[in-house]
Amino acid sequence: MCGSDFDLRNLSDTLRHLSNYSLQKKGEVENPNSLVMSTTKFEEFAQQDLNMKDFTWAKDMLPKISDVVWRSLKSMQETQE
C-alpha cells in the first residue's frame, strides 16, 4: 500500500504511485508496518470495502499471481532461445 494518497498532479512523487514496501518504508510514515496487509486482512477488505462478498485470496488472487510469475519466467526463457 502507499503511504501517500494518489495524486495525478504530482507524478514525480513515487510514494504516491508505487506501492513497493522498500520505497514506502523510507517515507514519512509513522508505522511502516501499517503499509503491509495480510492475506486475511486483504480478504476482509475486498469482501467488505469493495463489496466482493465471495472473494478469497486462494481462489481469486493466488492463481493470478502464479500466472504472472509463470508468464514472466516463460518470457525470459523464450528470449534466451
For residue 49, give Cα distances in angstroms to 10, 43, 46, 55: 27, 10, 6, 12
Give Rg (Cα) of the chain: 16
pLDDT of residue 53: 95
pLDDT of residue 81: 65
| Neighbouring residues of 54: CB distance < 8 A, sequence distance ≥ 6 | 47
pLDDT of residue 31: 74
Q: Using 50 as the pLDDT threshold, list the residues of the chain that sit under it.
A: none
pTM for this model (two decimals): 0.60
pLDDT of residue 2: 65
Give tens-digit pLDDT for 44-63. 999 999 999 999 999 999 99
